[in-house]
Amino acid sequence: EQYQKLADELAQVHTDSNQILSETMANYESVLAQRSQEISSLSHQLEELEKERRRCEEESEAFHKDYSQRLQEKDRELADERAQVKSLAGDMAVQAQKVNEL
């Protein structure tokens, strides 16, 4: 009878441990599935952010290229205007000398 009681208790412990293991595995699988879904969502967000970063980088490069071209164009215009002013100043000096000779 004592052996039967011990055998029954051992069987109950075995049943309880199987139940606990089953519940633990179910909880683990549930948490794992949830984390997997979170990782997938974060991965998608990261891809979207990377696309946005590339777009901003391309826009920035285009802006800087355009700005640089406009600056070079203005520099050329100013250089042309300086050359014209120097030429006019030279012409005025020649005209002034002619006036002085008269």
Residue 101 has a pLDDT of: 85
pTM: 0.55
Q: Which two tokens stand for residue 69?
A: 């071209």
To the nearest whole number, what is the mean pLDDT of the chain?
96
Instruction: Dump the DSSP string for 23-55.
Output: HHHHHHHHHHHHHHHHHHHHHHHHHHHHHHHHH
pLDDT at 1: 85
Low-confidence spans in the chain with pLDDT less than 70: none
